[in-house]
Amino acid sequence: MPDARDASNHDAVRPGGKSATAFRTISEVADELDVPQHVLRFWESKFPQVKPLKRAGGRRYYRPEDVVLLRTIRELLYRQGYTIKGAQKLLRETGARKIPADGSGETPGAERGTSRAEADAKRVGNTSRPIDRTELKAVLDELVSLRALVRQRFG
């Protein structure tokens, strides 16, 4: 395992004093990605692509490519709204290297000219028709009015 104090690793120092090529502990990765450590362990169980090096006692050391993959998973789940299954499928089909982990917000795998509604429908697995936001707004309005009726009648 590369040592963080090794002089050859001083090419690009990150916050915390480690180079960009140094292995990271679970606490360092959790802090960097702003997620709890148990979430990283959970993702490790759900995404076979995440394979940190494990030392005696089960201590995990994440390679730089593991951190990039975890950042991609975080982007898919937290910012782009994918489910675990959806993110698993996307990573399986396209590979993690083709998915931007920088928060660019562009839906991976979406062809140019695809509307946001079509991309949303594809993401949730409904390819029969795109999500109609106007229709969703009408349903929401109806639910709000029904809630008001229930409150009026039952207090």
pLDDT, tens only, 5-32? 444 444 454 555 677 788 999 999 999 9
What would the mean pLDDT of 130-150 be, rounded to a whole number? 83
User: Are 81 and 154 in a shared domain?
Assistant: no
Q: Residue 26 sits in a domain of what CATH number?
A: 1.10.1660.10
What are residue 53's phi and psi, to 5 degrees?
Answer: -75, 130
Flag whether pLDDT at 125 surpasses 60: no
The residue count for the chain = 155
Query: Under 8 Å CB-to-CB from 45, ≥6 apart: which residues?
Result: none
User: Are 29 and 102 in a shared domain?
Assistant: yes
Summary mean pLDDT of the chain: 76
Q: Where in the sequence is the domain holding 27, given as residue range(s)?
A: 1-109
User: Are 59 and 117 in a shared domain?
Assistant: no
Flag whether pLDDT at 45 surpasses 90: yes
Flag whether pLDDT at 111 surpasses 70: no
Residue 57 carries which DSSP code? G
Q: Which residue has the tokens 């990573």?
A: 91
User: Are 20 and 78 in a shared domain?
Assistant: yes
